[in-house]
Amino acid sequence: MLHAEVGIRRGSLQLRAAFEVPEGTVLGVFGPSGAGKTTLLGAIAGFIDLDDGEIRVDGVTLSTPGHTVPLERRGVGLVRQRPALFGHLSVRGNVGFAPRSTEQEVAALLERFGLTELAHRRPRELSGGEAQRVAIARALAAHPRVLLFDEPMTGLDHGLVDEVARAIREAARTCCVVLVEHDFALLARLADSILVLDRGRQLQLASSALLQRAPSSERVASLLGMVGPLVRGRSRWWCWPEKIRFACASSQGPNAEGVIVGEPRFVRGRFEHRVVVGEVGTLSLAAQSPWPPGPVRLELEDPVAIEEGCEEIAGTHERSEAAQSTEVGA
C-alpha cells in the first residue's frame, strides 16, 4: 500500500495531494500542463524532497520533510515517455540490470512481456512499444513495491498504445501503480481510481467510473473533456460530447435545453455541425442520422438530443455522489 501526503513548493507551483494506492491497483493522475503531475511522481520516486507531508510504502516511511530515503533503497520504479534503456546492453542485459534480479526472474519477465525473441537485440533495434515493454520488465525485475508511469504511451501509434496498456495492467498485478496520462479516455480504461490535479491542487480523487459520472466541479468536468454548462432552471449540466446525437425536436424532443444545431459544413466527405452547447461556445460533431439525407431535416437552431438522457450529464451543482470523493487543498 502506497500512502502519500505530498506538500511541495517549487517556484510558482504549490503542490498538495493526498491519496492511497492499494497493491494490485492503478491510480491514474490527470491534469493539465503545470498541474504538478511529474513533480508528484518525482516526490514518490525520491528525487524531489517533500516540504510537507509523508510518503509511506507498506508502513515504511520513504520521505518526510528533511529526510528522503535514497533512490536505490526506496523500492520504487519509474517508466517515462522515453524508456531510457541502456544502449550498451541487450534487451536481456537491460531487464537483468537490477542487482536483485535473478536469471530465472529475468527469463520469466522476458516471457511474460513477450520479449524472449528479442532478448539479444540492442535497444536501438526495438520499436517504441517493444522498448516500453523492456522498460517495464526492467523496472519489475528490481521488485518494486511502487511502479510509476509518466505518460509512457505518448507518441506511440495506436497499436503500440494497446500493447503498452496491457503491459501496465500486467505490471499492476504485483505492485502499486501510479500512472500519469494526458489522454483521459485511456486513463479511465486503465486506472481503478483517478486523481485530478490542477495547478498543484487536488481537485478530486474518485473511482474512474464515479469521476466520469460525477465530476466534483465544473473545472474538473472541463479538464476531463466534458462540454457545458447546459443551463436548466437553476441547474448547470455538463455532458460527454460523444453522447450528443442529432434528433429532431418535434419527433423525439430534446432532453437537454441549450444544445442547438449551429452552422453545418461539409468536410472530407461528411457533414459536420457546429453544436452550440450552453455557455461555453461551440463543439464540432460529425453529422449523424437522420441528417442528411433523411426524413427529418434539422434546421439551424433546432434543439438536439443527448443520447442517454440527463443521467449521463453530471449535476455539478449538487455534490451528492461527488461528496464520496476526497478533496484536498481546495
Question: What is the nearest approach in angstroms of another protein to the Cβ of residue 240?
Answer: 37
Tell me which stretch binds another protein (CB under 8 A): 94-102, 167-175, 197-205, 269-277: 94-102
Residue from 1, 84, 107, 310 binding another protein (CB under 8 A) = 84
* CB nearer another protein, residue 80 or residue 319: 80
Instruction: Give the integer Cα–Cα distance in Å for 93 and 151.
Output: 24
**Cell of residue 151, nine digits:** 505518460
Q: How far is CA 49 from the centre of its chain?
A: 25
Q: Choose, by CB under 8 A, the member of 109, 126, 139, 276 that binds another protein.
A: 139
Q: In angstroms, rounded to a whole number, what is the distance separating the alpha carbons of residues 37 and 128? A: 23
Helix (H) or strand (E) holding 124: none
How many Å separate Cα 219 from the centre of its chain? 16
Residue placing its CB nearer to another protein in the complex, 78 or 161: 78
3-state secondary structure of 281: strand
β partners of residue 3: 20, 56
The least distance separating another protein from the CB of residue 142, rounded to whole angstroms, comes to 5
Stretch that binds another protein, among 96-104, 110-118, 179-187, 320-328 (CB under 8 A): 96-104
Instruction: Output the smallest distance, CB 73 to another protein, in A.
Output: 8
How many angstroms separate the CA atoms of 245 and 259, rounded? 10
The CA distance from 151 to 80, in Å, is 6
Place of cell 517508466: 79
- Rounded Cα–Cα distance for residues 189 and 202 (Å): 21
What amino acid occupies position 285? L
133 sits near another protein (criterion: CB under 8 A): no
Shorter beta-carbon distance to another protein: residue 138 or 201:
138
Q: Measuring CA to CA, how many Å separate 231 from each of 227, 259, 280, 310?
A: 12, 10, 11, 12
Give whichever of 137 and 306 is closer to another protein, judged by the CB atom.
Answer: 137
DSSP code string of 137-198: HHHHHT--SEEEEESTTTT--HHHHHHHHHHHHHHTTSSEEEEE-S-HHHHHHH-SEEEEEE
Determine, following the binding rule CB under 8 A, whether residue 142 of this chain makes contact with another protein: yes
Of these, 21, 78, 119, 153, which contacts another protein (CB under 8 A)? 78
CA-derived radius of gyration, the chain: 23
Q: Can you tell me which of 11, 66, 88, 250 binds another protein, judged by CB under 8 A?
A: 88
Q: Would you say 179 or 227 has its CB closer to another protein?
A: 179
The answer to whether 243 contacts another protein (rule: CB under 8 A) is no
Which residue among 59, 99, 233, 295 contacts another protein (CB under 8 A)? 99
Q: How far is the CB of 180 from another protein (least distance, A)?
A: 16
- Among positions 15-74, residues that touch another protein (CB under 8 A) are 45, 47, 70-72, 74
Residue from 36, 77, 215, 303 touching another protein (CB under 8 A): that is 77
What does the binding site for another protein look like in residue numbers (CB under 8 A)?
45, 47, 70-72, 74, 76-78, 80, 82, 84, 86-88, 97-100, 138-139, 141-142
